[in-house]
């Protein structure tokens, strides 16, 4: 049934069950966090999401059809989340939230697991640490904005989650071997030469 697959708003009774981590509601409904893109059983011991981020599903299958991944802690679909799936959840979280201040702890908390374990799993699967991967995502976006926008360096720094223009410039120079303004100038010059 289509209604069984649709996302629903959380009601007072469901929110109370989630807040109290009430096992009696396990299997009756599943809640998903729009911020983390994970879904859980009501009894899940993970940190509670904000009320306005929560949506309800009548089944684990419905949550997954709507793009949510199962929580590693409470295993809402009855299956263990593999290390690859868990690392992919962290990768997706970084891509969706790189503009915000992030730490290893905040990423692990959003992915419902201990930070030291997630860090080890992520390094084993992706070959880089969580923060190195975060820097890579931020620098990819910064390069794109430098080439395709006329924004000031300070604006680009803020858009990629680095609060200070000087820190952004320093990090960019470490990764690219040149200052962001020089990078922008060189790429644009090369592109204009290729057009003619």
Q: Which residues are catalytic?
A: 40
- The conformation of residue 24, written as its DSSP 8-state character, comes to G
Number of C-beta neighbours around residue 56 at 10 A: 22
Compute CA 170 distance to the chain's CA centroid, rounded to the nearest angstrom: 25
Cα–Cα distance between 72 and 112 in angstroms, integer? 6
Task: Show Cβ contacts of residue 106 under 8 Å, excluding neighbours closer than 6 positions.
Answer: none
Q: Are 77 and 39 in contact (CB under 8 A)?
A: no
* Residues paired with 9 in a beta bridge: 55
């Amino acid at each position: 049934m289509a209604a069984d697959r649709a996302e629903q708003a959380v009601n007072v009774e469901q929110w109370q069950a989630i807040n109290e981590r009430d096992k009696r509601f396990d299997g009756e409904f599943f809640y998903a966090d729009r911020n983390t893109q994970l879904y859980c059983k009501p009894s899940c011991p993970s940190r509670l999401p904000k009320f306005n981020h929560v949506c309800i599903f009548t089944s684990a299958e419905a949550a997954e059809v709507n793009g949510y991944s199962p929580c590693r802690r409470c295993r809402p679909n009855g299956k263990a989340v593999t290390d690859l799936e868990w690392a992919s959840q962290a990768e997706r979280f970084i891509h969706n939230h790189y503009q915000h201040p992030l730490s290893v702890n905040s990423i692990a908390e959003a992915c419902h697991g201990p930070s030291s374990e997630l860090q080890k799993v992520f390094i084993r699967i992706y070959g880089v640490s969580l923060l190195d991967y975060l820097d890579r995502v931020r620098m990819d976006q910064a390069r794109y904005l430098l080439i395709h926008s006329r924004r000031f360096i300070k604006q680009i720094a803020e858009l990629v989650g680095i609060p200070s223009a000087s820190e952004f410039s320093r990090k960019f120079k470490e990764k690219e071997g040149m200052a962001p303004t020089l990078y922008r100038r060189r790429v644009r010059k090369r592109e204009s030469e290729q057009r003619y």
